Structure 1
Amino acid sequence: MSGEGTWVGLDVHARSVVGSAIDEASGEISTRRVGPRTEQIVEWVRNHPGPVMACYEAGPTGFGLARALAAAGIACEVVAPSKLERPAGDKVKTDRRDAERLARLLRIGELPAVRVPTEAEEAARDLVRAREDVRTDLMRARHRLSKLLLRQGLVWDATAWTGAHEQWLRGLRFDRRGVQLAFDEALDAVFTVGARRDRLDAAIVEMAETAALAGPVGRLRCLRGVSTLTAVGLCVEVADWHRFTGATIGSYLGLVPSEASSGARRVQGQITKTGNTHARRLLVEAAWHHRRPLRTSRERARRADGQPAMVRDRAEAGNRRLHQRWTRLDRRKKRPTISAVAVARELAGWCWSLAVLDERTPESTTTPPG
């Protein structure tokens, strides 16, 4: 776009959009409030002298606008808001100034863009995150019920939320009508949310068998602590594993230490916790499984059944390495929570290596005898 074209920055909200356009030929900046409908935005952007390149910040409005602009032949970048730098002396923030600032940064190539997922990837991500929300709802419903019973002096001493526990809950009766009604509502909420979770689990397992996910999900399940739900969650959150390397995947997920170094002074702090929160939680939960000694597991063998020998060997090497990592950290008297994050960072690298592993191994390409 040297010497011609238009750079467009869009400040997108649910009910209003402000666009700022920089004409490369004249240097003129024009700003306009556009309607919130996608068709109106695309039409306004298209009316500028071409070639046109647009951008807007990622947010709750999603990626539909980026796809619509791409379908109209307009290049569009979706920007990561958390990585946009703002001058310390800039104390005025308006939609017009934000749109103009995006257009100027786009023009000089200083915008940190994010990957725009396909519609299928976004649908799979919505399903997995719906299950994540239900998991949180179920935990809260169980806590409310248990605390209600605690106020009545009732505590279940064995393992909670098993068949025996459920039978015990169904048999409880209270003399006071208010307590009985509150208990019935809390118990019904637990069962209702549990049924929602089971339906979503079944849908995710079915989705894991599709062509797009079957390969990487099957390979990731060979690792300890990575079930079908965890593997699907990692695959839909990361989407394209080939964007990263074993050294950069941890940084994308916020599992690397923060740093403030200058000159000869180097200071590292807690992990950055940037990037994808859902994938980071899944990895940290899976990392705890590697604390126990590595033994033969019937469930892990079932998950690895049908995978090429190359995949199984690499997964077992990762399982051994991750347990050894736990052991070394325990010897150094590290807190278990810190050890779990350190192992999760390394687990992310092993997940990456399995996800990008070529499925066409010698075993799978060799013609079976007979």
Structure 2
Amino acid sequence: MNTITNHTKLIERIINAKPQTVRLGIDQHARDVVVAIKLDASVPLRSQKMQSEQLLHLAKSLLKAAIKMSSVYEAGPCGYVLHRQLQKAGVKSLVIAPQLLGRGKSRKTDKIAAQALVALLDSYERGNTKAFSVVHVPTEKQERERTQTREREMYRKERLSWEHRGRSLMLRHGHHITGKWWQKKRWETLKETLPAWMHGSLESMREVIEKLDTLEKREREKIEQTAPASLPKALGALTWVVLSREAHGWKHFNNRRQVSSYTGLCPGVCQSGTSLKEGSIDRHGNCRIRALLVEAIWRLSRWQPNYPPVQKLAEGIIRGSARKKLAVAAARRLTVDIWRLSTSRTTPEKLGLVMT
């Protein structure tokens, strides 16, 4: 009852202040949210912990009083449900890339984080567009599609883990086995060489592995069915669809710099005075896309050696670490080319790609 009373008093206090705009900095958690509230140009109010339902009630009450509202919170495991609820209520909601909010401070609390977020939002709305990076919020359909591709990858990784467990068990007892030992024909031959007491444990593992393998293949078939009929050679249907779904489609990117930045494959730079040094890639953005792109580059270097970004790789002249750096640069270029193809900005012939 006391919490409800305090929440009501907070709403009344804000409305009685008659602000034109209210900004909310939200530090979101699974059970609750911590909210810092800033009225016009005043100092933010003390951060408040509340339930998501109370936050929505606060927003709706202030909007009824003809107060403009905006909010910000960091992208994280709680997804975009709160963002959609706030948008539906009439709040201008922004989801941003996670920030290093405690830099240079010996204290880091949820309330301090909420205060820092509302300060960044105030700066952003006053014209400082570099205060933070706004995250593209996918549609609910795009989220479901991405979940499907990630579930397939989860099944694959779980299957590999159980394969390793089986090999580890056999190795501990003097049997060095490689490959897919669990497949039916291989297992029928293999179990004749193993002690009888081990059969039960490995049979149980095989049941789990076969189930995971079936689930992975089922999801893979569903995903591949959504791919275009014609694709660049060495870029399979699975890779193409997963890249598109991880990026939530390509149409929301406005230029090649945005595409390259999203991959996290851009080199770091350290410059001071006349000194300039490029470092390792920044690894911002989507780590799954990075892995897929680099794998695709090695395939392209074999099957499409005339594709300009991989020509030097295909020739085999460059060796060592320089070869890996060249592959990363080619992967960055490949992302831009996929974006151009997907948005009809160019043709495969202009890019030097052979289609299947």
Amino acid at match of 2:319: K
Aligned-residue offset at 1:179 = 1.6
Residue aligning to 1:277: 287
Aligned-residue offset at 1:28 = 5.4
Distance in 2 of aligned mates of 1:28 and 1:294? 58
Deviates more, 1:66-75 or 1:244-253: 244-253
SS where residue 86 of structure 2 aligns?
Answer: helix
Aligned residues of 1:224 and 1:286 also touching (Cα < 8 A):
no
Gapped regions of structure 2 (runs ≥ 5): 1-18, 125-130, 348-356
Counterpart check, 1:105 vs 2:92: no
> Match for 2:198 among 162, 166, 179?
179
Are the structure 2 counterparts of residues 233 and 64 from structure 1 closer, same or farther at C-alpha, using a change threshold of 3 Å?
Answer: same
Distance in 1 of aligned mates of 2:100 and 2:208? 45
Taking the TM superposition and a 5 Å limit, the aligned residue runs for 1:110-149 are 110-149=131-170
Residue aligning to 1:44: 58
Counterpart check, 1:167 vs 2:185: yes
Aligned residues of 1:9 and 1:54 also touching (Cα < 8 A):
yes
> Match for 1:234 among 228, 243, 252?
243
- 1:45-86 deviation per Cα after TM superposition (whole angstroms, max 9, x unaligned): 3333610001111111110000011111111001111xx244
Counterpart check, 1:57 vs 2:74: yes
Aligned residues of 1:174 and 1:180 also touching (Cα < 8 A):
no
Aligned-residue offset at 1:240 = 3.8
Counterpart check, 1:197 vs 2:216: yes
Are the structure 2 counterparts of residues 358 and 327 from structure 1 closer, same or farther at C-alpha, using a change threshold of 3 Å?
Answer: closer
Aligned residues of 1:326 and 1:343 also touching (Cα < 8 A):
no
Distance in 2 of aligned mates of 1:186 and 1:30? 55
Amino acid at match of 1:41: L
Gapped regions of structure 1 (runs ≥ 5): 209-216, 296-318, 361-370
Residue aligning to 2:314: 327
Distance in 2 of aligned mates of 1:31 and 1:323? 53
Aligned-residue offset at 1:264 = 1.0
Distance in 1 of aligned mates of 2:148 and 2:231? 23
Deviates more, 1:23-32 or 1:119-128: 23-32
Residue aligning to 1:17: 33
Are the structure 2 counterparts of residues 353 and 325 from structure 1 closer, same or farther at C-alpha, using a change threshold of 3 Å?
Answer: farther
Aligned-residue offset at 1:24 = 0.4
Residue aligning to 2:333: 346
Aligned residues of 1:258 and 1:268 also touching (Cα < 8 A):
yes
Identity of aligned pairs, percent?
A: 27
Aligned residues of 1:141 and 1:186 also touching (Cα < 8 A):
yes
Distance in 1 of aligned mates of 2:177 and 2:68? 68
Amino acid at match of 2:108: K
Distance in 2 of aligned mates of 1:21 and 1:96? 11
The number of residues matched between the two structures is 317
Distance in 2 of aligned mates of 1:325 and 1:124? 36
Aligned-residue offset at 1:44 = 1.8
SS where residue 218 of structure 1 aligns?
Answer: coil
Aligned-residue offset at 1:167 = 0.2
Aligned residues of 1:11 and 1:19 also touching (Cα < 8 A):
yes
Aligned residues of 2:233 and 2:304 also touching (Cα < 8 A):
no
Aligned-residue offset at 1:26 = 5.2
Distance in 1 of aligned mates of 2:233 and 2:329? 16
SS where residue 60 of structure 1 aligns?
Answer: coil
- 1:271-320 deviation per Cα after TM superposition (whole angstroms, max 9, x unaligned): 1222101111111111111222548xxxxxxxxxxxxxxxxxxxxxxx62
Distance in 2 of aligned mates of 1:67 and 1:104? 22
- 1:185-214 deviation per Cα after TM superposition (whole angstroms, max 9, x unaligned): 2222221211110121123234x1xxxxxx
Aligned-residue offset at 1:340 = 3.0
Amino acid at match of 2:90: G
Distance in 1 of aligned mates of 2:261 and 2:217? 33
Distance in 2 of aligned mates of 1:239 and 1:261? 34
SS where residue 97 of structure 1 aligns?
Answer: helix
Residue aligning to 2:13: none
Are the structure 2 counterparts of residues 151 and 200 from structure 1 closer, same or farther at C-alpha, using a change threshold of 3 Å?
Answer: same
- 1:135-191 deviation per Cα after TM superposition (whole angstroms, max 9, x unaligned): 21122222222333344444567xx4499x640213414674542222112222221
